[in-house]
Amino acid sequence: MSEILLCAEHTGHYNYPLCCACGDMKVDLWLENPAQIKYSSGIQRGKNDKLDAREIAAYTLRFQDRARLFALPEKRMASVKLLVSERDMYMADKAKYQGQVTDDKRFTSKDDYEAKCKRLKRQIGDLETSIVEIEHAIEKLVDEDESLERQRALLLSVDGVGQQTVIKMIVTTNAFRDFRNGRQFCCHAGVAPFSYNSGSSIRSKSRVSNRADKNIKTLLHMAALSVATRQKSGDLHEYYTRKVAEGKNKMPVLNAVRAKLVLRMFAVIKFNVFYDRNHAFEFA
């Protein structure tokens, strides 16, 4: 079994039973991005499970020197990850129900709306109770782990970074072990701009890729909005204000703020020091 390399498409928590089985049997497991396999396999005609398995096997044999072996996270980290996933599910349901409460008011009769609103608010209340329970459970798990508790404290010292962003960063990066540096994570989160040029005729502005972790990108965007527009002081607020005053589009400037927040979070973890607000930054 030690001589076997098993490659599978990374499909999130659906891979968990396979990961557990490979761990029990001591089989090396390589979880690869499905898009990476797809675009390296040439033109494809038709699709079925048998054909997909052949493509993955061919990819594994050809690029086995690039294999990054998967390791199950430690028990406490795995528990936090599952709780965060469950919380995200409840938050999505809550937003869906709240949208119904708001949208239907103008277009339904008063009696129908009140009856529906009563049922929806009951569902929202149950979801809010579950979300609070999950947040307490996550907080307890982090408090019980000295390393995670230290990382949480360090990340919270960065301006604009809140509790939800901190926990999501720790889970996504596997306690900052799965990414070498902040620039690599910026690419994963979809905040790293890429150029799109070809020859002398195609000249497009640099833009971010749609291949990104949209969940963490949303949290980073909210953090950037908070520190750049809602706070009336700080170097990032001054940077945002100056760039907008120069005529820059607001969204690329906000994206730059998102990237700066990521780099700061990785810096405080790397050097194991709290963020220093008096540190002198030089922004271009």
Say if CB 186 and CB 192 are below 8 A apart: yes
Strands 193-198 and 202-208: antiparallel
Six-digit token string for 126 = 């149950």
Say if CB 36 and CB 7 are below 8 A apart: no
Task: For residues 63 and 60, give the distance between their C-alpha atoms in angstroms, rounded to a whole number.
Answer: 5
Average pLDDT of the residues in 245-263: 94
pLDDT greater than 80 at residue 277: no
pLDDT of residue 31: 94
pLDDT of residue 283: 52
pLDDT of residue 195: 78
Read off the pLDDT band of 221 (50, 70, 90): very high
In tens, the pLDDT along 93-102 reads 999 999 888 8
Q: Where are the domains of the chain?
A: 5-66, 75-144, 171-271
pLDDT of residue 112: 86
Prediction pTM value: 0.84
Say if CB 152 and CB 162 are below 8 A apart: no
Average pLDDT of the residues in 198-205: 70
Question: Average per-residue pLDDT in the chain?
Answer: 90
Cβ partners under 8 Å of residue 161, min gap 6: 155, 223, 261, 265
In tens, the pLDDT along 174-195 reads 999 999 899 999 999 999 888 7
Read off the pLDDT band of 158 (50, 70, 90): very high
Nearest to 208 by CA among 225, 187, 224, 227: 187
In terms of Cβ atoms closer than 10 Å to its own Cβ (0-12, 13-18, 19+), residue 200 is exposed
In tens, the pLDDT along 139-149 reads 999 999 999 99
What does residue 159 show for φ and ψ, rounded to 5 degrees? Answer: -60, 130
Cβ partners under 8 Å of residue 264, min gap 6: 158, 275
In tens, the pLDDT along 13-57 reads 788 899 989 989 999 999 999 989 988 888 877 789 999 999 999
Six-digit token string for 192 = 């790293």
Task: For residues 160 and 277, give the distance between their C-alpha atoms in angstroms, rounded to a whole number.
Answer: 12
Six-digit token string for 234 = 């700080």
Let me know how long the chain is.
Answer: 284
pLDDT greater than 80 at residue 136: yes
Task: For residues 137 and 134, give the distance between their C-alpha atoms in angstroms, rounded to a whole number.
Answer: 5
